[in-house]
Amino acid sequence: MNTHAAARLAALSPQGRQHLQAVLHPPPALLVFDFDGTLAPIVAQPDAARAPLAVARALEALMQHHVVAIVTGRAVDDVAGRLGFVPHHVLGSHGAEDPADVQSAERIAHHRSALDELRAACDGSWAASLGDAGVQVEDKGLSLAFHYRLSRDRQHALSVVRGLLAEHGGGLRTFDGKCVVNAMADEAPDKADAVETLVARTGISRVVFAGDDVNDEPVFERRRPGWFTVKVGGDPRQSAAEFHLGGTAEMALFLAACLRCSR
Ligand SMILES: [Mg+2]
Q: What span, in angstroms and rounded, lies between the C-alpha atoms of 69 and 92?
A: 11
Q: What span, in angstroms and rounded, lies between the C-alpha atoms of 69 and 91?
A: 8
Going along the chain from its start, the domains and CATH numbers come out as: 2-98+189-262 (3.40.50.1000), 105-185 (3.30.70.1020)
The residues placing their C-beta within 5 Å of ligand 1, an ion, are: 34, 36-37, 212-213
- Taking the centre of ligand 1 as the mean of its atom positions, its distance from the CA of residue 165, in whole angstroms, is 22
- Taking the centre of ligand 1 as the mean of its atom positions, its distance from the CA of residue 125, in whole angstroms, is 31
Q: What span, in angstroms and rounded, lies between the C-alpha atoms of 217 and 197?
A: 17
- Taking the centre of ligand 1 as the mean of its atom positions, its distance from the CA of residue 35, in whole angstroms, is 6
Give the chain's residues under pLDDT 50.
1-6
Residue 169 is predicted with a pLDDT of: 96
Q: What span, in angstroms and rounded, lies between the C-alpha atoms of 125 and 127?
A: 6
- Taking the centre of ligand 1 as the mean of its atom positions, its distance from the CA of residue 57, in whole angstroms, is 20
Q: How is residue 38 annotated by DSSP?
A: T
- Taking the centre of ligand 1 as the mean of its atom positions, its distance from the CA of residue 38, in whole angstroms, is 6
Element (H, E) at 81: helix 76-83
- Taking the centre of ligand 1 as the mean of its atom positions, its distance from the CA of residue 221, in whole angstroms, is 16
Residue range 197-231, pLDDT digits in tens: 999 999 999 999 999 999 999 999 999 999 999 99
Residue 7 is predicted with a pLDDT of: 55
Burial (0-12, 13-18, 19+ Cβ within 10 Å), 66:
buried
